[in-house]
Amino acid sequence: MSKIARLATALQQNGYRLTQARQAILNALVESGGHVSADELVELVREEAPSTGRMTVYRTLDLLHELGLVKPVYGGTGAAHYILMDEGHHHHLVCSTCDRVFEFEECMAQELGRQVGNRFGFQIEGHLLEFYGLCADCQPET
């Protein structure tokens, strides 16, 4: 099942309609790779469905956030960026200098999540792990 389909069914299974506007938003979101601000996403969506309103995009992102499928992260550059959490977790390397974001897959947080979850009586659904530092291009010459 594609990412788009997974998001779509998640919406429907939670009692939300899969309208054309929402379909277009999901497409644009997944195509973009999932590192866009809300207003950037509006532009992308309008390439496919020009009449789409700004509010609809904001509302859909809210919906996806409520369902834990998307997560807004604030990079310090004005608008929040939304990242896809369709697998429940996400991992970043963020360069403090140039603000570029690299993704990686490995993760050993599941086990820690279980432990900490138990201690706090917390039912864990997903996580975000971000490392900050200097990317290869931004390190001082040696």
Q: Could you give the string, one character per residue 15-34, with x where binding to DNA holds by CB under 7 A and - elsewhere?
A: -xxxxxxx------------
Report the length, in residues, of the chain.
142
State the minimum distance, in angstroms, from the CB of residue 133 to DNA. 21
Choosing from 1, 2, 13, 78, the residue that interacts with DNA (CB under 7 A) is: 78
Sign (positive or negative) of CA dihedral 131, 28, 72, 70:
negative
Examine residue 47 and tell whether it contacts DNA (CB under 7 A): no
State the minimum distance, in angstroms, from the CB of residue 113 to DNA. 27
**C-alpha dihedral over 14, 16, 17, 19, to 10 degrees?**
-110
Separation CA 132–CA 33 (nearest Å): 20
Selection from 84, 129, 140, 81 nearest residue 107 by Cα: 129
Q: Pick from DNA, a copy of itself, none: which does 109 bind, CB < 5 to 8 A by kind?
A: a copy of itself
Tell me whether residue 51 or residue 114 sits nearer to a copy of itself (CB atom). Answer: 114
Kind and range of the H or E run holding 5:
helix 3-13
What residue ranges bind DNA (CB under 7 A)? 16-22, 37-39, 49, 51-56, 58-60, 62, 72, 74, 76-80
